[in-house]
Amino acid sequence: MDQKKLMAEIKDQEQPTLVHNLPEDTSKEIWEAANSKSIANSQKDIAWMTIHGCLPVRAFQHRRGLATSAECPREDCKGEEDIRHLLWSCPYARGVWKKMKGLIFRLTGQTNLTYENILHGTNLKCNYGKEETAWRVINCVKESLWASRNIGIYHHNPIEEKECIKLCFDKMTTYYYVDINKYGKTWAKGNWQTKSWSEYI
């Protein structure tokens, strides 16, 4: 499966389609979140692929004869690796979210994380003006879950949960520096509270 070609084909469809038969307004909101200028292109790609259901997880590949098994590649996990499993219900993902939920709450006041809102970026009930930060952190977590899964497979080197969280912090640090340039150091420090992150590993 040529991932880049698939992405290009999907993006060529100028008008976004309805998401899982959701109403037009909700679909529009979901596509806007997936295409938000506030998140990195690599994270937009993952958001697009997850909404379209074409992130090449094992279940996706197995259905197309591209993988011998649909089983999750994480150690000691026998679940079927579909997108929900990868990003949310795999015990590994649950462990990462458990820690990151605490940090997301600290930074944004967000308390109602569900699979739907980490997938779609909708209904993020945060403190005033903090939705963008919550959405950025959520996308850092999703990208890190996908990256750590791929490093585990292709380099035969399982990545521990805490290493996945460190990957996530690296990506969040990039946003912190973007915000320093955009809003100044005082604001960025207050928004990101980087010194507190080590409490969540």
Least distance CB 183 / Zn ion (angstroms): 38
Contact 117, 33 (CB under 8 A): no
Span from 28-36, 44-52, 86-94, 188-196 in contact with Zn ion (CB under 5 A): 86-94
Least distance CB 79 / Zn ion (angstroms): 5
Q: Nearer Cβ to Zn ion, position 59 or 107?
A: 59
Span from 9-17, 29-37, 83-91, 105-113 in contact with Zn ion (CB under 5 A): 83-91
Of 49, 50, 59, 74, which one interacts with Zn ion (CB under 5 A)? 74
**Is 70 an interacting residue with respect to Zn ion (CB under 5 A)?**
no
Least distance CB 99 / Zn ion (angstroms): 17
**Is 77 an interacting residue with respect to Zn ion (CB under 5 A)?**
yes
**Is 72 an interacting residue with respect to Zn ion (CB under 5 A)?**
yes
**Is 168 an interacting residue with respect to Zn ion (CB under 5 A)?**
no
Span from 6-14, 41-49, 84-92, 159-167 in contact with Zn ion (CB under 5 A): 84-92
Instruction: Spell out the SS3 assignment of the chain.
Output: CCHHHHHHHHHHCCCCCCCCCCCHHHHHHHHHHHCCCCCCHHHHHHHHHHHHCCCCCHHHHHHCCCCCCCECCCCCCCCECCHHHHHHHCHHHHHHHHHHHHHHHHHHCCCCCCHHHHHHCCCCCCCCCCHHHHHHHHHHHHHHHHHHHHHHHHCCCCCCHHHHHHHHHHHHHHHHHHHHHHHCHHHHHHHHCHHHHHHHC
Tokens 């945060």, located at residue: 126
**Is 44 an interacting residue with respect to Zn ion (CB under 5 A)?**
no
**Is 90 an interacting residue with respect to Zn ion (CB under 5 A)?**
yes
Binding stretches for Zn ion (CB under 5 A): 72, 74, 77, 79, 90
